[in-house]
């Protein structure tokens, strides 16, 4: 049976979920196609939304806009779905070496609003080995993608807006004002399909740079869950009691996206030295981040095929960037609002027109 819609969205990771959420809010008609790949980064991420990152505690891009936006966005969608989609935490940063301790103290000295001393230095002695003390980063949030994505999927299914299948780009026909895919005709198509876009004939010229990440899920009974713990690795509480995510690796050079024995062994070894309480590994996750050379997302419509769009390139920060740019793309589509210059694919116009 032929189907007619306004928007065809490919992918229901965190990008496609928030894009469909905002389009639905605006009363727009759409269909989402998603193959439910268990290795997609949205299914294996920790969900951390943090204001500073890396060894030098660099303040993240657009933090003052993106952090409060993410908190509100997850609160709203969670409220509508009757789930907890986001929690507020703080990161307890155990200094792994004197250099990192010094960096942290210097950052506090600058009056940074996210980096704080932790007054009770012995507070975590029952749980962790740490000789060089700790500091605190706050506010930090965890997005509960493991709860949110299935709940949103169920909502879409209830409304007959989700097709669970592989999208085959060979069957896409793009005309000036319409796109056709199998029995579906849509005004526009928007790719939110993570690393699949790297092969997409419309967008493969964009400077994508896939990055492999692995993580373990641990059962750690008794570890308090109001913090994220960091010492090289991060231990992040998941929604289910006593379950914690531990990771992640950050690899540019890899042969495939499979979990590796090396990561598992090294992580378990590091945990044995750091954690004082018992843990068991319940899962080993691995996948490819849709990262980009410039570490900025790709948002907008193709300069020639103006009904073909993309919301992608979220890299290591999809949990905070996806809601923000899904809203921007929606406002661009419906109200002709501009897309941030450093995220819009307009910046690659020449390359995309070749």
146 binds ligand FAD (CB under 6 A): no
35 binds ligand FAD (CB under 6 A): yes
40 binds ligand FAD (CB under 6 A): yes
* Neighbour tally for 160: CB within 10 Å: 9
328 binds ligand FAD (CB under 6 A): no
Of 96, 210, 290, 323, the residue at the interface with ligand FAD (CB under 6 A) is 290
Structure token pair of residue 264: 């598992």
Kindly give, in sequence order, each residue whose CB lies less than 8 Å from that of residue 206, ignoring residues fewer than 6 positions away. 197, 292, 298, 310, 313, 345, 348, 351, 352
Select from 12-20, 117-125, 131-139, 343-351 the region that touches ligand FAD (CB under 6 A): 12-20
Per DSSP, which regions of the chain are E strands?
3-10, 30-34, 48-49, 52-53, 58-59, 86-94, 115-117, 134-143, 162-164, 172-174, 179-181, 184-191, 211-219, 227-231, 233-237, 243-247, 280-289, 298-301, 308-312
Stretch 210-249: interaction string toward ligand FAD, x if CB under 6 A: ---x-x-------------------------------xx-
Instruction: Report helix, strand or coil for 183.
Output: coil
Of 44, 100, 174, 275, the residue at the interface with ligand FAD (CB under 6 A) is 44
Select from 7-15, 20-28, 51-59, 261-269 the region that touches ligand FAD (CB under 6 A): 7-15
Total residues interacting with ligand FAD, rule: CB under 6 A: 41
Separation of alpha carbons 164 and 153, rounded Å = 10
Interface with ligand FAD (CB under 6 A): 11-16, 33-37, 40-42, 44-48, 166-167, 192-194, 196, 213, 215, 247-248, 287, 289-290, 312, 314-320, 322
């Amino acid at each position: 049976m032929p189907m007619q819609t306004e928007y065809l969205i490919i992918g229901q990771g965190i990008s496609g979920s928030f894009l469909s959420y905002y389009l639905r809010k605006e009363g727009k008609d759409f269909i989402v196609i998603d193959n439910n790949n268990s290795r997609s980064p949205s299914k294996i991420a920790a969900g951390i939304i943090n204001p500073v990152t890396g060894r030098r505690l660099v303040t993240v891009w657009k933090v003052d806009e993106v952090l409060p936006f993410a908190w509100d966005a997850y609160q709203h969608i969670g409220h509508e779905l009757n789930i907890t989609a986001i929690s507020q935490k703080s990161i307890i940063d155990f200094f792994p070496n004197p250099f990192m301790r010094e960096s942290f103290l210097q950052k506090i000295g600058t009056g940074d609003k996210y980096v704080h001393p932790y007054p009770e230095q012995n507070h975590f002695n029952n749980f962790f080995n740490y000789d060089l003390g700790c500091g605190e980063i706050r506010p930090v949030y965890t997005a509960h993608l493991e709860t949110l994505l299935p709940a949103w999927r169920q909502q879409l299914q209830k409304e007959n807006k989700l097709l669970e299948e592989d999208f085959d780009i060979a069957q896409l026909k793009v005309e000036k004002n319409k796109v056709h895919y199998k029995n579906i005709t849509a005004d526009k198509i928007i790719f939110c399909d993570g690393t699949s876009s790297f092969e997409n004939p419309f967008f493969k010229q964009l400077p994508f740079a896939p990055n492999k990440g692995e993580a373990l899920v641990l059962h750690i009974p008794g570890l308090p869950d109001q913090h994220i713990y960091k010492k090289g690795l991060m231990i992040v509480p998941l929604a289910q009691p006593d379950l914690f995510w531990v990771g992640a690796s950050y690899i540019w050079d890899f042969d495939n996206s499979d979990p590796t024995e090396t990561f598992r062994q090294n992580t378990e070894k590091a945990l044995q030295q750091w954690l004082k309480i018992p843990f068991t590994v319940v899962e080993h996750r691995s996948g490819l981040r849709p990262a980009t050379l410039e570490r900025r997302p790709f948002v907008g419509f193709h300069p020639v095929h103006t009904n073909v769009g993309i919301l992608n390139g979220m890299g290591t920060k999809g949990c905070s960037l996806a809601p923000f740019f899904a809203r921007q793309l929606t406002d661009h589509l419906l109200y002709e609002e501009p897309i941030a210059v450093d995220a819009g694919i307009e910046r690659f116009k020449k390359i995309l027109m070749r």
